[in-house]
Amino acid sequence: MWDYTDKVMDLFYNPKNQGELEDSTEPGIKIAVGEVGSIACGDALRLHLKVEETTEKILDARYQTFGCTSAIASSEALVDLIRGSTLDEALKLSNKDIANYLGGLPQAKMHCSVMGQEALEAAIYNYRGIAHEVHEDDDEGA
Ligand code: FES
Ligand code: FES
């Protein structure tokens, strides 16, 4: 069995941020979606962001994943960490920040936290109308 922290197990058993956000009809509010992997296939994550246009503030976020325990806990951590921050602040978040929030992740499970970070980038680029480029050289373990 993996050696998960209590925080990881708590978020896995009591997820609060799962799901989708409906397209906004409120003026000045946009929903952006980012996806990594293949939801139809396996390890994958879809992230919805609710963004206030004038401030670029992330008012709320939700995720869906078919990843493992770490992916679920990492996604919970991600949403908790980015809620209320601006898109620029959110872009600075690293998968290490996610792991730290969780009190650590097993080394072999660090890639699950990278998925959340990549979905976040995809959602932000998508929001800004830029095609998401996958960075092959991203260091998963760092
Ligand atoms: Fe994608 Fe099996 S369904 S690898
Ligand atoms: Fe693939 Fe965690 S999401 S092992």
Number of the ligand 2 atom closest to the C-alpha atom of 42: 1
- Distance of alpha carbon 25 from alpha carbon 30, whole angstroms: 8
Element spanning 97, H or E: helix 95-101
Residue 96 in tokens: 């290490």
| pLDDT band at 142; cut points 50, 70, 90 | very low
Residues 29-57 pLDDT 10s: 999 999 998 777 778 999 999 999 999 99
Q: Does ligand 2 lie within 6 Å of residue 106's CB atom?
A: no
Hey, where are the domains in the chain?
6-127
Residue 51 in tokens: 């963004």
ipTM for this model: 0.69
- pTM of structure: 0.85
Nearest Cα to Cα of residue 30 among 3, 47, 50? 50
Domain 6-127 CATH class label = alpha beta
Which segments of the chain are extended strands (E)?
29-37, 44-52, 57-65
pLDDT average, residue stretch 3-21: 96
Residues 69-128 pLDDT 10s: 999 999 999 999 999 999 999 999 999 999 999 999 999 998 889 999 999 999 999 999
Number of the ligand 2 atom closest to the C-alpha atom of 68: 2
- Distance of alpha carbon 50 from alpha carbon 54, whole angstroms: 13
Distances (CA, A) of 35 to 6, 14, 47, 131: 28, 23, 6, 12
